Amino acid sequence: MGKSKQLKTTEPLAAGIILGAFLLCMALSAFGYGRAQAAAQRAARQAVGAAAQVADSSRLFAGYTQLEDPLLVLVNNWVPLPEGWEVTPRMVDDELVDLRMYEDYTAMCRAAAQEDVWFWVASGYRSVEEQRGVLGRAIGEGEQAGLTAEAARQEALRTIARPGYSEHHTGLAIDLNDVSSGFEDTPAYAWLQRRGADYGFIQRYQGDKSHITGIDNESWHYRYVGKKHAKEMRRLDMCLEEYVVYLQKQGVR
């Protein structure tokens, strides 16, 4: 009788010890993974070096040679659209995009819809002439608000690329939904932050990378780079400028 009573009192204690050990192992494992990921990000950023300094961006990308993978084409304030670049157009939500992103974009929309999250393309491919019009209208609005012509131009260039230097020329960039800062507070944005890379899409311009990209935070602007690259960029916490320089330093062409 005494032995039976002893077993009953020690069983919960043993179970508690086992559960505690299991939880401790899980916590240490998660901690170890987090440290490993942070270490990988630090090492990658160190490999990039000068790419992390926006003051050096114009020098870093002067005469830039594009990587061979067309999904990693770089178009920014310092690198124009490559000569001879071709877009194979496909219509999505009354906007044109390049065929290379079409399948993954539609798959992403289907997956999001299953969770009652919805996307639509507000702006896709733009010709150089169309970009000239977008920039001109923004400058005009700034002047109407009382800015000088130069001040209005500089203000517009914070979020609008010069003609010939816009990612929209590639057909691989899209502006989603209402194209406003309010998009950052929507379920659609939260979903993209979790799952966008699984379908090859990255938020191209993030606030904490504006000193590198030269563009303010744009929660609505997404770039297709393919699943492999998007996941790796997410893992390394890199924007496209950092990532292409990182790859080149690894010997990738």
In a domain, 141, yes or no: no
Residues with a catalytic annotation lie at 218
The token pair at 214 is 């030269």
Q: What is the DSSP letter of 219?
A: E
Q: What mean pLDDT comes out for the span 23-50?
A: 51
Q: Mark out the alpha helices in 114-195 (DSSP H runs).
A: 128-144, 149-156, 187-195
Count of Cβ atoms closer than 10 Å to residue 72 Cβ: 18
CA 199 to chain CA mean position, Å: 12
- Give the CA angle between residues 129, 131, 136 to the nearest 5°: 100
Structure confidence by residue, pLDDT tens digits, 59-113 = 889 889 999 999 999 999 999 999 999 999 999 999 999 999 999 999 999 999 9
For residue 52, give the nearest of 39, 42, 67, 37 by alpha carbon: 42
The number of folded domains in the chain is 1
| Residue 133 within a domain | no
C-alpha separations of 142 from 64, 154, 220 in Å: 33, 10, 22
Has residue 134 been placed in a domain? no
pLDDT of residue 133: 96
Compute the distance between CA of residue 160 and CA of residue 55 in angstroms, rounded to an integer.
Answer: 19
What CA–CA distance (Å, rounded) separates 246 from 45?
Answer: 8
Is residue 160 included in any domain, yes or no?
no
The type of residue at 90 is R
The per-residue pLDDT for range 200-211, each reduced to its tens digit, is 999 999 999 999
- Residue 138's alpha-carbon distances to 77, 141, 146, 171, in angstroms, are 17, 5, 13, 22
- What's the predicted TM-score (pTM) here? 0.78
138 found inside a domain: no
Asked whether residue 105 is assigned to any structural domain, the reply reads yes
Residue 29: domain span: 2-126+166-249
pLDDT of 228 above 80: yes
Would the pLDDT of 149 be above 90? yes
User: Residue for token digits 């996941």?
Assistant: 231
Residue type, position 74, single letter: L
The conformational region for residue 32 under phi > 0 = left, psi -120 to 50 = alpha, else beta, is: alpha
Q: Which helix (H) or strand (E) holds 202?
A: strand 201-205
CATH number of the CATH domain containing 8: 3.30.1380.10
Classify residue 150: in a domain, yes or no: no
Residue 190: both structure tokens together = 């939260």
Number of neighbouring beta carbons within 10 Å of residue 53: 13
Residue 156 has pLDDT above 50, yes or no: yes
CA distance 128 to 130: 5
Residue length of the chain: 253
Q: Is residue 157 part of a domain?
A: no
- Say what the pLDDT of residue 19 is: 45
